[in-house]
Amino acid sequence: MNHDAYSDSYIREILGGVKSIAMVGASPVDVRPSYFAFKYLAQRGYDMIPVNPGHVGKSLLGKPFVASLLDIGRPVDMIDIFRNSSHIMPVVDEAVKMTPPPKVIWMQLGARDDAAAATAEAAGLRVVMNRCPKIEYGRLSSEISWMGVNSRTLSSRRAPMPTQGMQLSLNRMSLGGGETAASDHAAKNRNDPT
């Protein structure tokens, strides 16, 4: 698999197919990116499990922390790794030992380990690297466009304004690459100085 670019259908199938997500490196500190991602995904209906040995005995949005993936004690569909790239392989090694193993290993923005990805794929798991499921969900549902971000999602209808408890569809049509006529024109002029 080419881990430098993922199709929208690949990401959409993963986010639409998983129900439970164990977030390794989750933090109860409400200014940390992992806290925002955890809260967002929980509000979208995912069964979130915070994994962080430094916070055992605490809870995150009512969900008790566990020390490791093997301490979860129930099936998990996806492992979302919020750790530095150098700490990914031990998490993947632990994930493939789970019974049953998860369906997906997801490495957050800035996190990439090709050897860990190969290990996970050899065990039959799907892999996403250097992406955030919160951002991808928002982009594919067009929810992110309400924050003034170009989601590259094309539709003749604007997505509804999100409200508390509302879940937008991941099935909106997207245009990969985000090219525009202006960028195409600029690229043509750069390559053709005449």
Of residues 157 and 76, more confidently modeled: 76
Domain hosting 181: range is 1-194
CATH code: domain of residue 16: 3.40.50.720
Residue range 171-186: average pLDDT?
Answer: 46
pLDDT in tens, 87-143: 999 999 999 999 999 999 999 999 999 999 999 999 999 999 999 999 999 888 877
SS3 (DSSP) at 82: coil
pTM for the whole thing?
A: 0.77
pLDDT in tens, 46-79: 999 999 999 999 999 999 999 999 999 999 999 9
Residue 176 binned pLDDT confidence (cut-offs 50, 70, 90): very low
Closest CA to 153 of 138, 163, 132: 138
Cis preceding linkage at 100, omega within 30: yes
Q: What radius of gyration do the chain's Cα atoms show?
A: 18
Domain count, the chain: 1
Are 29 and 87 in contact by the 8 Å Cβ rule? The answer is no
Alpha-carbon distance of 96 to 27, in angstroms, equals: 23
Q: What pLDDT was estimated at residue 181?
A: 45
